[in-house]
Each structure stands twice: as structure tokens, then as C-alpha cells.
Chain A
């Protein structure tokens, strides 16, 4: 039986040898990819420009795995916006400086009459100044977000700049509410006088009298003022709506919506600031007799005749303005 034992050993050895060969065969056989049908990163990015899935966290925003749109937003916010803002604001300041140095203050040609007419009521002035002061603070705090880091941070250091930015940010959020109230009131108060008409076309054709000694007629608000009105109402409306979208993040939209809101908010805001700088110029340094309209509410009769002749006629017809000529001498009192 010994030969049978040897046969058995031989057979088992051969089987074991074959087993080893067979077991190593799959390594050289065709490899299987179990995730072949699954999604790939670049494919998803190309199709949807974002990758999103399911998460077990209640905050569903965490389901967005990748949103490369953030890259484009960063480019806009750091580069494009700073160019637009810089050119708009520095540009308008340059234009005003040149204008003042060449044209100078628009003077009252017939001099003061000493008699006044009410131009803006106390309520109108209240609304204007509330909106205006809020605007100044909002503009400065807003510009700090965009330009503070490159311009102010190097001057005052990290801690001071962060502290200042914190307060500026709170001021920006909370003063936006009285600002919005003001814009709405301005819209309602003055809509009647700010509908464009033919007189405005003529006023614009004559350049508003900004060059030379022309005095094109105008009603209570001339075309330039109507432009400012609509800039305030539409621009103010736009920054308010986008501002509240930014203030309550993700209440109204996903991340692309937030980025869009910031883009619109910032572009409208810097253009708004440029327009308001021009408005402030013409209402203070740019024109003699203009500031009192919002300061005391009463303007000199001659000023009104020179710049808003049709308004004066309306007021005189209503019996709310003193009629008569253009006395140069001051009445003795």
C-alpha cells in the first residue's frame, strides 16, 4: 500500500499546486470596476456647475459639495468691484473739482431780494435729512467692507480695524431700516412732482443752464432733480431689497442667489454714492441759495425765479407766494 500512499501525496501536492495557480489567476484576469457607472467630479461640474448631494445634517446647505461659482464671485468682489467703485467715485470727484475750478459756484444773478418763499415743509426736510444722514453712514460703512482692507487696515493695524469694522457693520445693518423708511417716504411724498414731462426735455436740451447764463424754466423739480429722485427711489429700492437678502442669508435663495445679491448691492451702491456726491455738491458748494431749501425750508424769491420760474408762477397763482417785481433793495425793517 505504500505506493498508494505516495500516489495520494502526489495527487494532493498537484492539487495544491493547481490551487495556488488558480488563486493567483484573478490578479492577471480582467479587473472589475464596481463604480464604473457612478458619477465623476468633472462631469458633474461641467453639467451643473455645482455638485450637490444628500446629507444627514438638518442644515441642507451642507448638501452642496462644491460650488466653483465662488471663484467667479471672489474675482468680481476683489477686482471688478474695486475698479468700478474706484473709477465711479474718484471720477465724479475729479469732475466736480474741475467743474468748480472752471465754472465756479452758480451765482444768483439778480442778487437776493430779501423775500422768501417756502420750498420744503418741515416734514419733507425731516424725511430728507433722515435719509441723507443714514446714507452717509451706510456709504462709509459699506465702502469699508470693500476698500477698508487695502486702504485703512495698513494704517491702523488689525485689532483697531476689526473693532472699527464691527461697529461699522452694526451701523450699516441697523441704519438701513430708517434709510429704507426714508426712501419709501421720499417716493410717496414727491412722486407727484417728479413725473418727467416736456419741460424737462427742453431743460435738458439747454443743459440746465449749467454752462453760461441760461435759466431754462422748470417746475418745482427740474430734470436734474428728477434724475436724482429716481436714482434715489430705484437705486435705494435696489440696495434695500438686495441688502435685506444679504442681511437674512439663505432665507430667499441658495448660495448663487446670495452672490448675485452682493453683486447687485455693491454695484448699485457705488454708483449711488457717485450720484449723491454730485447731489451734495450742487446743493452746497455748487449753487448759491440752494442749501436753504433743505436747511431752513425757505428760498429767496429771486433764486426761485431764476431756477424754478414755473413753480413760482404756480405758487403765486395759488396765493402762496408773494407776487411783485424783483426788488434789489432790502426793505427797511
Chain B
């Protein structure tokens, strides 16, 4: 069974934000919610690096572990999803998440922040696949149509890879060997407890 993962090749990311735009467009993400974002380290200085980051769909997801109402679930593909019907908007998942994936529609006022929203790996939510309710609550479900997340599909440099963990790890390893350098798969140690030896 495929185990879905994200991999952002930080040596290729040019901070074009195509991934962000693709996600926002595909799921009609409202202003103020940032499912995916590009973070630039050492901006403007020598050694500047950009990384595209959204939910990493961790193994043993910390968000799921700390949720007081247990609204998260992991699919057979390893995608971490949650139910907005059960979510009480307390914000604990944000404190536990190493990557800052959870987003809230309102600020302040613990618990009245509305339902948590986050990257779904374009896999929707507990509602019926491809239904209107699912789209309005969780966005598009591309995985059910056999497609991969749109952010990776739209990446202009193919730095963001999404799909079966073994396949994208293999792609990354080949890249690193061919060009002779690679800064590693950012976030993989924290999310999946593994690194890609290159």
C-alpha cells in the first residue's frame, strides 16, 4: 500500500509560490487561511533557502495525539485527516504540530476560533468522496480521482514532490546523485522519523 508523503527539494525551490496559489485555487481557500506556505530562510543573504511547507501527514501524528476530542484519523494511505464536525477549535493541534499546519478562521478567544482547517493532501474529509458537502468543508478530493496533490503538480521546478514515500524518496536520491549535492528532505526526520541517505 502506498504511504503518501511530501518532499520539498530545498535546493530547487525558487519561492515562486505556485504551490500556494494552486492550493488556494483548487480548494477555494478563503483569505486568512494558509494551508501551504513558502518559508525563506536567510532571505536576501548568501545561502538563502526556500522551503514549501504544509501538513506533512506525519507518522504518529502529534496533532492526533493531543486532540481532546480525537477528531483526527489516518487513512490507509497514511494521509492525516480530521472531522470538522467533531473539532471544537481548541488549538491544541497547533501547539503540537512541528510544522504549524493547523489554521483557524478566527483569531483570539480560545475555542471560539472556528473549526481547524489544514492541508488534506487533496484527499478531502470524512464526507462522501467528491460530494458537495465534502468540497465545502474540506476542499477538493483529488486522491479519490486517482490524482496527486495539485501543489506538487503545479510546482514550477518540480522541487515539491508528493506521492508514495518510497517513489519520491527514490526520485530525490537520484537527483542528489546526479547533481552531486542535496540538503536533505526537510522535515522528514521530524515527520516520518527517517532520513534519505544521499
Contacts and interface: CB of A to CB of B under 8 A. Distances in A.
The answer to whether A and B interact is: yes
Nearest to A153: B70
A215 B113 CA distance: 54
A248 B108 contact: yes
A82 B161 CA distance: 39
B69 A36 contact: no
A149 B88 CA distance: 13
A247 B70 contact: no
Interface string A25-57: 000000111111111111010000001111111
A71 interface: yes
Contacts of A259: 95
A3 to B, nearest CB: 46
B187 A31 contact: no
Contact of B98 (A53, A68, A166): A68
Given A35-B11, A56-B17, A247-B109, A68 B190 contact: yes
Interface string B145-166: 0000000000000000000000
Contact of B40 (A40, A53, A61): A53
Interface string B78-108: 0000010111101110111111100000011
Contact of A165 (B42, B62, B69, B181): B69
A65 B180 contact: no
Nearest to B67: A149
Interface in A146-180: 146, 148-149, 153, 158-159, 161-162, 165-166, 169-170, 172-173
A258 interface: yes
B39 A55 contact: yes
> Which of under 10, 10 to 19, 20 to 34, or 35 or more describes the interface residues of B?
35 or more
A78 B47 contact: no
Contacts of A255: 94-95, 100
B144 interface: no
B49 interface: yes
A251 B69 contact: no
Nearest to A65: B39
B167 interface: no
Contacts of B40: 53-55
* Chain A interface main SS type: helix
A62 B100 contact: yes
A64 B183 CA distance: 19
B111 A53 contact: no
A173 B68 contact: no
A70 interface: yes
Given A39-B49, A44-B41, A53-B40, A66 B109 contact: no
Contact of B69 (A32, A67, A161, A249): A161
A77 interface: yes
Contacts of B91: 249
- Majority secondary structure, B binding face: loop
Task: Give the size category of A's interface with B.
Answer: 35 or more
Contacts of A131: none
A74 interface: yes
Contacts of A37: 46-47
Contacts of A302: none
A57 B34 contact: yes
Nearest to B36: A62
Given A68-B190, A71-B62, A249 B100 contact: no
B88 A66 contact: no
Contacts of B85: 159, 162
A63 interface: yes
A262 interface: yes
A59 interface: yes
14 contacts: A35-B181, A39-B42, A53-B39, A54-B39, A55-B37, A55-B39, A56-B38, A63-B39, A158-B71, A165-B69, A166-B111, A173-B111, A249-B110, A255-B94
Sort A-B residue pairs by CB-CB distance and give the 3 closest, nearest first.
Answer: A31-B180, A33-B181, A38-B47
Interface of A: 31-42, 44, 51-57, 59, 61-68, 70-71, 73-74, 77-78, 144-146, 148-149, 153, 158-159, 161-162, 165-166, 169-170, 172-173, 246-249, 251, 255, 258-259, 262
